[in-house]
Amino acid sequence: MLSFREVERKVVNNDLCTNCGSCQSLCPFWKSSEGRTYAGFDCDRKEGRCKYFCPRMPADLDALRQKFFGADSESGFIPELGPVKGVYLTRAADDSIRKGAQHGGTMTALVKLALEEGFIDAAVLSKAEGTLNPEGVLVTNPADVAKCSGSSFQIPPTNAKLNEALIADEYKKIGLVGTACKTLAAYKMKAKPFAENDNNADNIGMVFGLFCGWGLDWQGMAKLGEAKHVDILPSKFHRMDMDDKQVDLDEVLPLVRENCKYCYDMTAEFADLSVGGARSAEGWDVDKGWNQLIVRSEKGAELVKLAKEKGVLEFRDFGGKGEAGAIEKLVAASKSKRAKAVKAIVEKTGSKDDLTYLTPNKDSFKAYL
What would the pLDDT profile of 69-87 be if each residue is shown by its tens digit? 985 545 689 999 999 999 9
First-residue to last-residue Cα distance in the chain: 30
| Polymer length of the chain | 369
pTM given for the model: 0.95
pLDDT < 70: residue spans in the chain: 1, 71-75, 130-131
Whether residue 195 contacts residue 10, with contact meaning beta carbons closer than 8 Å, is answered with no
Cα distance between residue 265 and residue 137, in whole Å: 24
**Residue 365 confidence (pLDDT):** 95
Our CA angle for 189, 336, 78, nearest 5°, is 55
Nearest residue to 91 via CA among 107, 111, 110, 106 = 106
**Residue 73 confidence (pLDDT):** 47
**Residue 231 confidence (pLDDT):** 86
Domain limits, the chain: 58-339
**Residue 74 confidence (pLDDT):** 53
- Average pLDDT over the chain reads 92
Query: Strands 86-92 and 291-295, how do they pair?
Result: antiparallel
**Residue 138 confidence (pLDDT):** 98
Please count the other Cβ atoms lying within 10 Å of the Cβ belonging to residue 76.
17
**Residue 75 confidence (pLDDT):** 61
**Residue 72 confidence (pLDDT):** 54
**Residue 255 confidence (pLDDT):** 93
Cα distance between residue 342 and residue 355, in whole Å: 7
How far lies 216's CA from each of 18, 21, 159, 168, 212, in Å?
Answer: 11, 16, 18, 31, 11
Residue 39 sits at φ, ψ, to 5 deg, of -95, 120
What would the pLDDT profile of 151-184 be if each residue is shown by its tens digit? 888 899 999 999 999 999 999 999 999 999 999 9
